[in-house]
Structure 1
Amino acid sequence: MVKQRTNARQKILNSAVAVVREEGAGHLTLDAVARHAQVSKGGVLYHFPNKHALIEAMIERLIGDIEARADAEKQRLDGANTKLRALSLADATPLPEEDAMSLAILAASAEDPTLLDPVRETIARWFAEVEDEATDVDAALLMLLANQGLRFLQMLELLPLKPSRTRRLRERLLQFAEQEA
């Protein structure tokens, strides 16, 4: 029974991501998610009592996905700045739904900035972890900021660089992280 509820919850979350990806963040409503998931609105409300709760779950999932990739990358790395390099590698390979989720979260945070609190906490922790392992803290933080800036501009489709240039820049950031910070 618990597994069924978990599967239904994941199906609804997947549908929320699909609605945002296919129709845009402004179309994320409980009704739209119910239609896409082919469940009643009551079925959505059972798992997510309101849109705020649905977006919180999307944030939790987004953070979890990124952290899982970064943790997997960190396990295979050795040498300097493994957290910085792991985050860079994880950001270089976002899951297809991550941009849609990120945009929905940004749109929702305009109405309720507290939705970003878990994101703020996660990013603050990442900065602290990068600082803790760096020999040159300023250089490491600059690299982390450059990496996050690349990711943000890509997500918003504002990056005026060709993918090949972006890949080269990411590779350079990784090289710097291995040697410099």
Structure 2
Amino acid sequence: MAKPSAKERILDSYEEILIEQGPGGITLEAVAAHAGVSKGGLLYHFGSKEALVDGLVERLATLSDEDIEHARKAPEGVVSWYLRTAITDVTQRKPLHRTTMATIRIMLSEPRVSEAVRSYNQRVHDLISEHVGDPLTAELVILVGDGLYLRAALGRDDPSPLLDRIDEIKARIQR
């Protein structure tokens, strides 16, 4: 596996600091040190804190596009895929989960991050609506998925038994 580029390491570090400390922990020096690059190296890729936010939004958009494309191609169907990945993205520490956690930490202070999240959420809603044929059922699928995601993210219970019941959960929602 190829070593991540300096730019990717910087974004990874930015996300980790946001997740662990929130926006108050973000300084260019802290991000550079965490990424193992000089401040000049960080500034080469991201000329300011605002550029780091832009990089985060761009990463969220890229990962979201990939996520929606995977959903469209999922052999088990969009709804089962969505509900399953609500758990597995967290338990397997997928990049989209980490980016989502970082964006949650910064949304209140960065309107462009909030807009990117709203845009992704709307695309997910549209995709699920397209596959279930009913906006209310789509909303119920999303609410269940959000609950599964939050439960897995908080580590409240072992989510594994629910993974075996995704088809049953899907059937109950659609009933």
The answer for the alignment partner of 2:161 in structure 1 is 168
Kindly indicate whether the alpha-carbon contact (under 8 Å) linking 1:20 and 1:28 is maintained by their aligned counterparts in 2: yes
Other-structure match for 2:13? 15
Specify every segment of 5 or more residues in structure 1 that has no aligned partner in the other structure, as ranges: 1-5
Q: Deviations over 1:78-124 (max 9, x none)?
A: 5xxx2222222222222526555434322322222332211111110
- Identical aligned pairs, as a percentage? 25
Q: How does 1:28-107 map to 2 (within 5 A)?
A: 28-65=26-63, 67-69=65-67, 71-72=69-70, 74-78=72-76, 82-94=77-89, 95-96=92-93, 100-107=98-105
Shift, 1:50, TM fit: 2.0
Q: Which residue of 2 aligns with 1:131?
A: 129
Q: Are the counterparts in 1 of residues 151 and 157 from structure 2 also a CA contact under 8 Å?
A: no
| Aligned partners of 2:16 and 2:102 also within 8 Å | no
Aligned-partner Cα distance in 2 for 1:76–1:107: 30
Q: TM-score, normalised by structure 1?
A: 0.72
Matched, 1:24 2:21: yes
Name the CA distance, whole Å, in 2 between partners of 1:122 and 1:110: 17
User: What letter matches 1:124 in structure 2?
Assistant: Q
Query: Is the CA contact (8 Å cut-off) linking 1:17 and 1:101 kept in structure 2?
Result: yes
Secondary structure of the 1:9 match is: helix
Whether the aligned pair in 2 keeps the contact of 1:140 and 1:177 (CA below 8 Å) is no
Unpaired runs of 5+ residues, structure 2, are none
Deviation at 1:131, TM superposition (A): 0.8
Note if contact 2:11-2:52 (Cα within 8 Å) is conserved in structure 1: yes
- Taking structure 2 as the reference length, what is the TM-score of the superposition? 0.74
Equivalent pair of 1:147/1:170 in contact (CA under 8 Å): no
Give the whole-Å Cα distance in 1 for the aligned partners of 2:83 and 2:132: 15
Q: Summarize the Cα distance change of 1:27–1:113 in structure 2 as closer, same or farther, 3 Å threshold.
A: same
